Amino acid sequence: MVPPPTTSPPSAAAEQELLALLRESSTREAGFRTLLRTYQERVYWHVRRIVNTHEDADDVTQNTFIQVYRHVEKFEGKSQLYTWIYRIATNEALGLLRKQKRQQPLSVDSELAIEQAQVTAADAPIDADALQAKLMAAVARLPEKQRLVFNMRYFDEMSYKEISVVLGTSEGGLKASYHHAVKKIEAFITA
Amino acid sequence: MKPNLHDSLPPQLRDLKSQWKQPSVPDGYFGGLEDNIMARIKAEEAFAEWRTPAPTARPTGWEHWRKVLFSPLWQLGMVATLVFALGVGYHYWSPVPDESLALTSEEAAWYVEQNIDDFALTTIETALGTSLSEADWATTPAFEESEEALEEYLEEYMIDDLDTDLLETYL
């Protein structure tokens, strides 16, 4: 079993140092490489949980960091750097899903993902792997906002405050969404 | 003490979290992701540079004026303006050739004599420095009263200028 990446994001002081490197043209590339090494895996897994396939996750992750590189000079530091990066990644991932939905109005991809998760869950023996497959199937069936909140809370262990920065919604609404998501998943797993 | 994020989760979900197995990714994917992203950024920057023409520095000072002065349009305009100005200047300020200055005194006298009727009385008075008004004529001798006086006058002023035939008719 490989544990999920739950390493804490860098401290505010470390982020400031990183930003200073990024804003100086002579140290920009070195700073950006440090940023990539620090966040690439977390961002990839966050995106992967939204878009399901590695190819899409790879595209979105790369696009996310290119956006970060282009706009980091305009980052005002009102929020943490990593929540800003998460926000870009989330928007990029959702944008890709919407684009795919427009191209395939019946949302074949998401339906397939749900079906695959359900088949895997049904076929697997009752052990941790089967339970994990069932959880993935349950998450895939959640509405978009509940799925995002559950992923960020459950897998990335983000606070409601951080999630509210990423999604631009109130903490109260997020708590309600997470609560509903957990109830639905629990019902699906125990069914 | 900060409560665990997952304390409130159902036991199954809490246990799953600690045993979670990530989906697979290609071998060495994360090792090469950094370079892949940097390569894409550099390629996009190079493409953007290629598409955007290098900004030309706006000329300042003498460089700016040199470019303006030597531009064909400006030169054409300047030539047209100069030609126009010369034409206007020539029209208003060119010296009128005073041909009379080139005449000798004999030629001038001959011209006046031939064209005496064209000259205004005041002009003649100015030239002679004397008045030729009728009032002044009263000072001339009263010829009607004395033939001798006429003869004296003619002798003194005009006798040399009259031709002989005309003089005989008067006498």
Of all residues in chain B, the one with the smallest CA distance to A70 is B41
Do B25 and A128 count as a contact with CB atoms less than 8 A apart? no
Please state, in angstroms and rounded to a whole number, the distance separating the CA atoms of residues A9 and B4.
Answer: 17
Q: Which two tokens stand for residue B134?
A: 């009728």
pLDDT reported for residue B104: 79
The reply to whether ipTM tops 0.90 is: no
Please state, in angstroms and rounded to a whole number, the distance separating the CA atoms of residues A131 and A92.
Answer: 30
Residues 6+ apart with CB under 8 A from B121: B132
pLDDT reported for residue B148: 75
Q: Which of A70, A42, A35 is nearest to A57 (CA)?
A: A42
Q: Which of A152, A120, A117 is nearest to A45 (CA)?
A: A152
Do B20 and A4 count as a contact with CB atoms less than 8 A apart? yes
pLDDT reported for residue B66: 78
DSSP 3-state of A13: helix
Please state, in angstroms and rounded to a whole number, the distance separating the CA atoms of residues B74 and B61.
Answer: 17
Of all residues in chain A, the one with the smallest CA distance to B2 is A159
**Tens-level pLDDT at each residue, chain A (191 residues):** 344 454 566 777 888 888 889 888 899 999 999 999 999 999 999 999 999 799 999 999 999 999 999 998 888 888 889 899 999 999 999 999 999 888 876 545 555 555 555 555 555 555 777 888 889 899 999 999 999 999 999 998 899 999 999 999 999 999 999 999 999 999 998 87
Q: Which H or E run contains A92?
A: helix A81-103
DSSP A16-47: HHHHHHHHSGGGHHHHHHHHHHHHHHHHHHHH
Do B33 and A36 count as a contact with CB atoms less than 8 A apart? yes
pLDDT reported for residue A173: 92
User: What's B142's DSSP letter?
Assistant: -
Q: Which of B124, B90, B42 is nearest to A32 (CA)?
A: B42
Q: Which two tokens stand for residue A75?
A: 């980052």
Chain B residues inside the 8 Å CB shell of A129: 21
Measured between CB atoms, which of A4, A40, A66 is closest to B34?
A40
Measured between CB atoms, which of A32, A69, A132 is closest to B20?
A132
pTM for the full predicted model: 0.60
Do A186 and B17 count as a contact with CB atoms less than 8 A apart? no
Angle between helices A81-103 and A12-23 (to 10 degrees): 70
- Residue pair A61/A44 in contact by the 8 Å Cβ criterion: yes
Q: Which two tokens stand for residue A119?
A: 């088949």
What parts of chain B have a pLDDT lower than 70?
1-7, 54-57, 59, 95-101, 132-146, 154, 157-163, 166-167, 170-171
Do B29 and A185 count as a contact with CB atoms less than 8 A apart? no
Please state, in angstroms and rounded to a whole number, the distance separating the CA atoms of residues A172 and A72.
Answer: 30
Please state, in angstroms and rounded to a whole number, the distance separating the CA atoms of residues A166 and A178.
Answer: 15
- Residue pair B50/B43 in contact by the 8 Å Cβ criterion: no
Do A132 and B16 count as a contact with CB atoms less than 8 A apart? yes
Residues 6+ apart with CB under 8 A from A164: A170, A171, A174
Measured between CB atoms, which of B19, B36, B40 is closest to A1?
B19
Do B34 and A37 count as a contact with CB atoms less than 8 A apart? yes
The residue count of chain A comes to 191
Q: Which residues 26-85 of A are in CB contact (within 8 Å) with B?
A: 29, 32-33, 36-37, 40-41, 44-45, 48, 54, 58, 61-62, 65-66, 69
Do A154 and B13 count as a contact with CB atoms less than 8 A apart? yes
Measured between CB atoms, which of B16, B33, B40 is closest to A135?
B16
Q: For chain B, say whether A129 makes contact (Cβ under 8 Å).
A: yes
Q: Which two tokens stand for residue B1?
A: 């003490």
Instruction: Tell me the pLDDT tens digit for each residue of B86-106.
Output: 988 888 877 666 555 677 788
User: What's A151's DSSP letter?
Assistant: I
Please state, in angstroms and rounded to a whole number, the distance separating the CA atoms of residues A80 and B134.
Answer: 119
Please state, in angstroms and rounded to a whole number, the distance separating the CA atoms of residues A46 and A73.
Answer: 24
User: What's A170's DSSP letter?
Assistant: -
Please state, in angstroms and rounded to a whole number, the distance separating the CA atoms of residues A130 and A89.
Answer: 29
Q: Which two tokens stand for residue B14?
A: 């809490």
